[in-house]
Amino acid sequence: MRIISLALLGCLLAGPALALTAAPPGGPDEGGAMTNGTIAAPPAGVQFYRPETTKAPYSQVVRVGDILYVSGQLGVNQDGKVVGDMGVQAKAAMDNISAALGRVGSGMDAVFKCTVMLTDMTQWAAFNQVYVSYFKPDQLPARSAMGVGALPLGAGVEVECWAYAPK
């Protein structure tokens, strides 16, 4: 009885893992998107926007249905160099978000959620002073913020946003 119970427990514990790998290699499972634990192809309607000039290993904007997901933007200039103090970096990060949205036919007025990462939370007021200037006072996006130990390139701020996609 104990051996049967352990075998049954093993099957139950392995079941979820087996479900991810049960589809034949290269073939979709029931949902048509997952094989061997990886996404075979994006679902219809998902679009990836990655400027040809970027060497970074991510898409700058991804459209899923009516939502645009803008990857975190640092306070860097067009040469990819971190610029100035928090005020200057905040402006550069927000300008980079605005430019990314502009490339896909959207704008800051479509933003409804932002996530802000700061390496120095004492710079919160300096960031906010710039941030609010990008939105109408009665249409401020929902927002999360966090202090982080470090950001790429030694930046002091990174901002990612979600926005409604243009029709």
For residue 132, pLDDT over 70 is answered with: yes
Who has greater pLDDT, 37 or 49?
49
In this prediction, residue 31 carries a pLDDT of: 40
- pLDDT for 80 equals 86
Determine how β-strand 157-164 pairs with β-strand 111-118: antiparallel
What's 46-164's CATH class?
alpha beta
**Amino acid 60: pLDDT:** 85
pLDDT tens-digit series, residues 40-64: 555 566 666 666 555 667 778 989 8
Task: Check residue 53 and give left, alpha or beta (phi > 0: left; psi -120 to 50: alpha).
Answer: alpha
Average pLDDT value for the chain: 78
d(CA 53, CA 65): 26
Of 6-10, 52-56, 58-62, 82-86, the poorest mean pLDDT is in: 6-10
Q: Where are the domains of the chain?
A: 2-39, 46-164
Q: CA of 54: how far to CAs of 41, 66, 80, 149, in Å?
A: 22, 25, 10, 25
